[in-house]
Homo-oligomer: A and B are copies of this chain.
Amino acid sequence: MAARRMVVIGGDAAGMSAASQARRLKGREELDIVAFERGGFASYSACGIPYWVGGDVEGPDDLIARTPEQHRERGIHLRMFTEVTAIDTEGQRVRTRDLVDSGGGESWTEYDDLVIATGARPVRPPLPGIDAPGVHGVQTLEDGQALLDTLKKNEDAGSGQRAVVVGAGYIGVEMAEALVRRGYHVTVLDQAEQPMSTLDPDMGALVHEAMCGLGIETVTGTAVTGVRTGDDGRARAVLTDDAEYPADVVVLGLGVRPETTLARDAGLPLGDSGGLLTDLAMRVRGHENIWAGGDCVEVLDLVSGRTRHIALGTHANKHGQVIGANVGGGYATFPGVVGTAVSKVCDLEIARTGLLEKQASAVGLRFVTVTTESTSRAGYFPGARAMRVKMLAERETGRLLGTQIVGREGAGKRVDIAAVALTARMTVGQMTALDLGYAPPFSPVWDPVLVAARKAAAAVREAGSA
């Protein structure tokens, strides 16, 4: 019997995790695995790019989990610089183009199982000058290298003083800090009321303060209208409605959208944000032998009950593992997410899980919110630092809906407590009894998350009796 063939589009986290997991379960005589990657890197950590730019990580080699050669040694035919240009679901085949050997033309590869792991592309609004040299996205290792080349060029020219970051989300804020560490004066421009709009504005204000503390100028409530270029065609300034921000380098941190052009052209089902829609086994809905995972899909948000697009390496790896298990003849599912994210600015740790106020309202939930101040360790213990926790709970039921945490050391990963509680659909009342680790160097006798849960439980009781 001929081996079945698994074809993977996209050689990063989701795709190569799927390939690796399937290979673990099925030998080469049973399963032929072919993966296409249009870029020059596979299995790398895009999340590490800000730290590479900032100098924490030497990279790019440090960011590569597994080289193409290592994949090939394990029996995965990984073809780099090869773009998939069409999916023929009827014929169960994909068309590819060799990006290096342009004379190579196009060819077709048949599949028994297809894995779509085409990732996401950075948002790049169609503004004048946005494609000028010196304007950088930070999605791929190639992007990171190009940005570093610009920084080097500036340094050589003695002009590396001013950077403008467009967008104050995770990537924007991380890149702003990286550029400060490279000696730049950094301005961050964002349309929203506060940076880090993955938090409620009252919590985002704490991030704003920390950015100021780093010397980052943060201009909120402003829309970028274009990029002014110099005589050499390179970016020189970022323009807004009412101002001009000189820039020796511009970084775009406007978030990403699912890269699903191929899928759309093939008639595969997409959600409201343009991501592929899958079932719980990560099978594209309605297509028995087509799978999708990573930054190109929408995932079920277990709290809101809706599908959302969340580009995050940890999800991509889980999707890949699930797909690989299923294609390899095993069984696995990805039940969904609760919307956990963690980041840092300088020593300020920023975390959220579940729904923000506006997200909860948007899906028809009625809720109470509380905000508490506590400390990371027993108040008397050296190194105890302030921590602010905000919690949303459903009125009437008291079910936890979301948690946001901002503080110093020990704040960020505390969000995991709430993430597990959300997954288990606990009420804030139930959370008050959680048996969390306590010792003076680790926590006050009431952990900050418990302090917030107690206050939230009281707010739910009050709302019920009102």
Task: Show the binding face of A for B, using Cβ within 8 Å.
Answer: 13, 45, 47-48, 51, 56-57, 59, 62-63, 170, 312-315, 317-318, 321, 333-344, 349, 351, 353, 378, 380-382, 410, 412-417, 419-421, 423-424, 426, 430, 432-443, 445-447, 454
Complex: A434 Cα to B318 Cα, angstroms = 10
Q: Give min CB distance, A157 to chain B, whole Å.
A: 30
Q: Give min CB distance, A172 to chain B, whole Å.
A: 14
Complex contact B45–A435 (CB within 8 A)? no
The residue in chain B whose Cβ has the minimal distance to the Cβ of A299 is B435
Decide: A313 near B438, CB < 8 A? Known: A51-B381, A62-B380, A381-B57. yes
The residue in chain B whose Cβ has the minimal distance to the Cβ of A454 is B321
Complex contact A446–B314 (CB within 8 A)? yes
Seed contacts A48-B440, A342-B442, A353-B437; 11 additional CB < 8 Å A-B pairs: A57-B380, A57-B381, A314-B436, A335-B430, A337-B435, A340-B437, A344-B441, A410-B413, A412-B439, A419-B437, A423-B426
Point out the residues of chain B lying under 8 angstroms from A56, CB to CB: 381-382
Question: How many copies of the shown chain assemble into the complex?
Answer: 2
The residue in chain B whose Cβ has the minimal distance to the Cβ of A331 is B461
Complex contact B13–A437 (CB within 8 A)? no
Complex contact B437–A415 (CB within 8 A)? yes
Point out the residues of chain B lying under 8 angstroms from A334, CB to CB: 433
Decide: A437 near B412, CB < 8 A? Known: A57-B381, A446-B314. yes
Complex contact A434–B412 (CB within 8 A)? no
Complex contact A437–B351 (CB within 8 A)? yes
The residue in chain B whose Cβ has the minimal distance to the Cβ of A51 is B440
Complex contact B420–A434 (CB within 8 A)? yes
Complex contact B424–A436 (CB within 8 A)? no
Point out the residues of chain B lying under 8 angstroms from A62, CB to CB: 380
Complex: A378 Cα to B49 Cα, angstroms = 12
Q: Give min CB distance, A113 to chain B, whole Å.
A: 22
> A437 touches which one: B47, B342, B434 (CB < 8 A)?
B342
Q: Give min CB distance, A297 to chain B, whole Å.
A: 15
- Interchain Cβ contacts under 8 Å between A and B, 23 examples: A45-B440, A51-B440, A59-B380, A170-B439, A313-B438, A314-B438, A318-B433, A321-B454, A335-B433, A339-B435, A340-B438, A342-B439, A351-B437, A353-B437, A412-B439, A413-B413, A413-B414, A413-B437, A416-B434, A416-B447, A419-B437, A420-B421, A423-B435
